[in-house]
Chain A
Amino acid sequence: MTNMVTLTIDGLPAIVPAGTTILNAAASIGIEIPVVCYHPHLTANGLCRVCSVDIGRRLQAAACVTTVAEGMVVNTQTKDVVTARRTILEMLNSTIDLSEAPHLQDLLLEYDADTERFDGMERRESPVHDDNPFYLRDYNKCINCWRCVQVCAEDAQYTFALSFDGRGFHTLIGTFEGDGMMDTTCVFCGQCVGVCPTNALKPKRQFLLEQGVDPDDIFRQTRRGGKRRREPVAEN
């Protein structure tokens, strides 16, 4: 039998198995804590900190990676929690093109974020990589949630085609020496595209359809080289 833990979240009692995260404990009683980088099927790394909640300490706790404790008192909407959440969202919005990330647009509205607050400050910019027939990589839209890197590595595919360029604010998802995907170990499984929350990774067909390209032309563009499927395609 599992040990059960009793805690209080926003004044409501919750009884959950030991080892449950605050995020899941809250969900079990109908309280939704906002998340950005978190994906239920992937290793949680506590990156975005948008799920941070008050647990009565000096530091807030990231709900996705903090497990519950007996008698814990969690507040998911204190003034500081909301300020931190809003500020992170505002900074993210001033750095990244979130126009194709509906979930983040919802959060910006929900937390009354001032989307012009950090206007004019440096954005994290990068050329769009169109280097293979399957998907585009537009890191101007990338929030560094690491999901693609993780599914490419130990969380799913064990392909290890992706890593990082730079560090700090200037961190971008990258490949070995900036190689195009055709020259990496990528097997085009598509899992990275599937988990990307902001459309930074986008199926090429979808991209071309959005550009108003005729489906027949798309077929011709993405099926070049007949059966020689690993032939490198020049960057546009």
Chain B
Amino acid sequence: MVQPATIDLTALGPILDRYRGRGRESLLPLLHEAQDVSGWLPREVLQAIGETLHVPLADIHGVVEFYSMFYNEPTARRVIRVCFDPACHMAGSPAVRLAIEERLGLKPGETSQDGTITYETVPCLGMCEHAPNALNGDRTAGDLTPADVDAFLEGVYPEPEPKIYGGPLIKLARAGKIDPTSLADFEKYGGYKALRKALTMRPEDILSMMKGSDVLGRGGAMFPVGLKWEMTRNAPGHPAEKHIVANADESEPGTFKDRALMEQDPFSLLEAMAVAGYTVGAENGWIFLRGEYPRAYKRLSNAIEKARAAGYLGHNILGRRGFNFDIELRLGAGAYICGEETALFEAIEGKRGFPRIKPPFPTTHGLFHQPTVINNVETLAATTAVLNMGVEQWHKLGTAESPGTKWFCVSGRVLRPGVYEVPFGLTVRQLIQMAGGVIGREVQAVLLGGAAGVFIGPRRLDTPLTYEDSKAQGFPIGSGVIMVFDEAVDLREIMYMLARFFAHESCGKCYPCALGTQRQLEIVERVLRYGGPLPGDVNMLRDIGLAMTQTSLCGLGQTAASAILSAVDRWPELMQPDSSNGRIVSDN
């Protein structure tokens, strides 16, 4: 693409004017808006942004360099992003990419001569139930075949809706049944009932309800929500200095559960956050949404606007004097690490998404180093479910130690991939059966918990999905990923993609992860592509895994070797020099 000799800043002026007087915490939103003008961020634009927000230029540069979706080199306004991670790969992403590349005459990372279109292959877009999927600018597309490529590129290919199955649908009760853009619809189907009920209760009583419900964090860390809310409530500070953050940055390959709620029932997230704000005594709500969820962004923005207009956000909510709560929607920019809670805070604060050292913990030193509740979207949805149905009813679902329902992201080689809301206690086999069973002859392996999870073989399919079994049998529930592989899948290819994902998403802060994810990728790649492992490769993977798992600074590095080592342990033949492509015969 030919770079214009001078950059026209006239379109930027009005945007900058709106941001004048604000500080570094506005950097990410301003970079997004500025980039929308010309598709990328030339130095003149960055300089103007630096002057407007009073942020050092070097720091702005560091931020732009960190996030994959910010460009400081000529890039088109329309970017085609095609997923190349496992679920899409198995569903035919390579053929779709080939068709797109032929049609556009571009290789990944290239921009067309006329500067109107950029093409990229990207990590998981969080639409695995519609694999293979892609983004055309802000338009989502799924279930693509090479024949759909023309319609997709012209922007006339239909946008897919999330697929929701299972039951009883508690947290997703409204999803798919109401108009997600209509507040009236939401209210008609029980919306804001939980908030009204909460306002008749004392915050202390809501806290004991939450503690009695045993809701554990559904993002993967399993921290009890009642305890988190109580610690933040008890932390010193005025409500104006406390925060409720919805972690909507789900980006792990195979994870797409939170998108289902945000696209289909966005008001319910706002309601849950308001309840949390009331209970904790926090006035500031933040939703940090991954940058690759354009439709969830539109629907949440619309919901926030309507909720604010109707008095569900703002001052003296529902006539309750002194109950103030509002929400700011923040868009990420292509960095999985920002799902790590402290990295997410850094991103909102306008910095590179480097995780912080803990302690101190968010309940006392969170966003802007103020007391903060940060919950996964599904966790927040669980809190309103508990409020609506009561602790007793909630405990009737699931098992004694894992009450309630869980969203599982079933994807890969099954007939009906989708988000399955089911009570805790179902086995992996039951979930696969609910999803219509395996495509192909038999289940070769299942990836449980996500890229940071573990592979299990067919003999462990009767493992019940509960927190207690997860602890006893050493597998993570994680973000609820159940990715199924049939006998035709070359597991080494999947291992390679997981390794590639972690190497791409490591932030680079601590050495074991920055170096280890890269070396792990190189070893797995030579096993897959270059004639098998060299002597010592297995030991290297184990040592790298030990260093990353035990000494990394945050959860990303601590789990980056988990799935790969689990495969090496269960199927040692994967690491044999003579291991052939395709089918793995062992079934242990």
B426 at the A interface (CB under 8 A): no
Per the bound structure, the CA–CA distance linking A46 and B58 in Å amounts to: 23
In the complex, the chain B residue whose C-beta lies closest to that of A159 is B56
Chain A residue numbers with a CB within 8 Å of B511 are 36-37, 47-50, 88, 91-92, 143-144
A168 at the B interface (CB under 8 A): yes
Known A88-B512, A122-B522: A163·B551 in contact at CB below 8 Å: no
Q: Are A45 and B543 in contact (CB under 8 A)?
A: no
B409 at the A interface (CB under 8 A): no
Q: Are B508 and A144 in contact (CB under 8 A)?
A: yes
| Residues 486-529 (chain B) with a chain A CB within 8 angstroms | 503-512, 514-519, 522
Per the bound structure, the CA–CA distance linking A43 and B404 in Å amounts to: 44
Per the bound structure, the CA–CA distance linking A169 and B513 in Å amounts to: 8
CB B272 to nearest CB in A, in angstroms, measures 31
Contact of B519 among A37, A46, A48, A121 (CB under 8 A): A121
Chain B residue numbers with a CB within 8 Å of A207 are none
Per the bound structure, the CA–CA distance linking A95 and B518 in Å amounts to: 10
| Residues 529-571 (chain B) with a chain A CB within 8 angstroms | 536, 540, 543-544, 546-547, 550-553, 558
Known A84-B547, A84-B550, A185-B58: A177·B72 in contact at CB below 8 Å: yes
Q: Are B517 and A168 in contact (CB under 8 A)?
A: yes
Known A46-B357, A175-B61: A60·B551 in contact at CB below 8 Å: yes
Known A91-B519, A118-B540, A184-B58: A84·B510 in contact at CB below 8 Å: no
| Residues 448-491 (chain B) with a chain A CB within 8 angstroms | none
Q: Are B540 and A122 in contact (CB under 8 A)?
A: no
B185 at the A interface (CB under 8 A): no
Chain A residue numbers with a CB within 8 Å of B544 are 87, 91
CB B516 to nearest CB in A, in angstroms, measures 6
Per the bound structure, the CA–CA distance linking A131 and B139 in Å amounts to: 45
A166 at the B interface (CB under 8 A): yes
Contact with B along A21-55 (1 / 0, CB 8 A): 00000000000000011000000011111101000
Per the bound structure, the CA–CA distance linking A37 and B59 in Å amounts to: 21
Chain A residue numbers with a CB within 8 Å of B504 are 168
Q: Are A45 and B508 in contact (CB under 8 A)?
A: no
Q: Are A45 and B509 in contact (CB under 8 A)?
A: yes
Chain A residue numbers with a CB within 8 Å of B190 are none
Chain B residue numbers with a CB within 8 Å of A168 are 503-508, 514, 517-518
Per the bound structure, the CA–CA distance linking A94 and B543 in Å amounts to: 15
B57 at the A interface (CB under 8 A): yes
Per the bound structure, the CA–CA distance linking A144 and B507 in Å amounts to: 12
| Residues 13-57 (chain B) with a chain A CB within 8 angstroms | 43, 46, 56-57
B424 at the A interface (CB under 8 A): no
B352 at the A interface (CB under 8 A): yes
Q: Are A169 and B503 in contact (CB under 8 A)?
A: yes
Known A166-B65, A167-B66: A121·B522 in contact at CB below 8 Å: yes
CB A44 to nearest CB in B, in angstroms, measures 8
CB A89 to nearest CB in B, in angstroms, measures 9
Contact of B65 among A45, A87, A167 (CB under 8 A): A167
Contact of A177 among B43, B505, B515, B536 (CB under 8 A): B43
In the complex, the chain A residue whose C-beta lies closest to that of B539 is A117
Chain A residue numbers with a CB within 8 Å of B56 are 153, 160, 163, 185
A74 at the B interface (CB under 8 A): no
Q: Are A160 and B59 in contact (CB under 8 A)?
A: yes
In the complex, the chain B residue whose C-beta lies closest to that of A170 is B508
B62 at the A interface (CB under 8 A): yes
Per the bound structure, the CA–CA distance linking A47 and B546 in Å amounts to: 17
Per the bound structure, the CA–CA distance linking A60 and B546 in Å amounts to: 11
In the complex, the chain A residue whose C-beta lies closest to that of B507 is A167
Known A52-B550, A84-B546, A87-B543: A169·B62 in contact at CB below 8 Å: no
Chain B residue numbers with a CB within 8 Å of A59 are 550-551, 558
In the complex, the chain B residue whose C-beta lies closest to that of A96 is B515
CB A65 to nearest CB in B, in angstroms, measures 5
Q: Are B516 and A49 in contact (CB under 8 A)?
A: no
Per the bound structure, the CA–CA distance linking A36 and B66 in Å amounts to: 24
Q: Are B519 and A118 in contact (CB under 8 A)?
A: yes
B261 at the A interface (CB under 8 A): no
Interface of A is mostly: loop
B260 at the A interface (CB under 8 A): no
Interface size for A (C-beta < 8 A) is: 49
CB A13 to nearest CB in B, in angstroms, measures 25
CB A181 to nearest CB in B, in angstroms, measures 11
A231 at the B interface (CB under 8 A): no
Q: Are A47 and B550 in contact (CB under 8 A)?
A: no
CB B67 to nearest CB in A, in angstroms, measures 8
Chain A residue numbers with a CB within 8 Å of B65 are 163-167, 174
Per the bound structure, the CA–CA distance linking A161 and B552 in Å amounts to: 28
A142 at the B interface (CB under 8 A): no
Q: Are B515 and A88 in contact (CB under 8 A)?
A: yes
Contact with A along B50-91 (1 / 0, CB 8 A): 000000111111100110000010000000000000000000
Q: Are B553 and A46 in contact (CB under 8 A)?
A: yes
Chain A residue numbers with a CB within 8 Å of B66 are 164, 167
Q: Are B552 and A49 in contact (CB under 8 A)?
A: yes
Contact with B along A58-75 (1 / 0, CB 8 A): 111010010000000000
Q: Are B357 and A65 in contact (CB under 8 A)?
A: yes
A80 at the B interface (CB under 8 A): yes
Known A84-B550, A117-B540: A122·B518 in contact at CB below 8 Å: yes
Per the bound structure, the CA–CA distance linking A117 and B553 in Å amounts to: 24
Per the bound structure, the CA–CA distance linking A95 and B503 in Å amounts to: 15
Q: Are A169 and B517 in contact (CB under 8 A)?
A: yes
In the complex, the chain B residue whose C-beta lies closest to that of A36 is B511
A162 at the B interface (CB under 8 A): yes
A176 at the B interface (CB under 8 A): yes
Known A164-B352, A169-B503, A175-B61: A49·B546 in contact at CB below 8 Å: no
What residues make up the interface of B, taking CB atoms closer than 8 Å to A?
43, 46, 56-62, 65-66, 72, 335, 352, 357, 503-512, 514-519, 522, 536, 540, 543-544, 546-547, 550-553, 558
Given contacts A46-B510, A169-B508, 12 further A-B contacts (CB under 8 A): A45-B357, A47-B510, A47-B511, A52-B551, A84-B551, A163-B58, A168-B504, A169-B517, A175-B58, A176-B43, A184-B57, A185-B56
What residues make up the interface of A, taking CB atoms closer than 8 Å to B?
36-37, 45-50, 52, 58-60, 62, 65, 80, 83-84, 86-88, 91-92, 94-95, 117-118, 121-122, 143-144, 153, 160-171, 174-177, 184-185
Closest 8 CB pairs of A and B: A163-B62, A160-B56, A171-B508, A169-B518, A91-B515, A176-B57, A168-B506, A163-B58
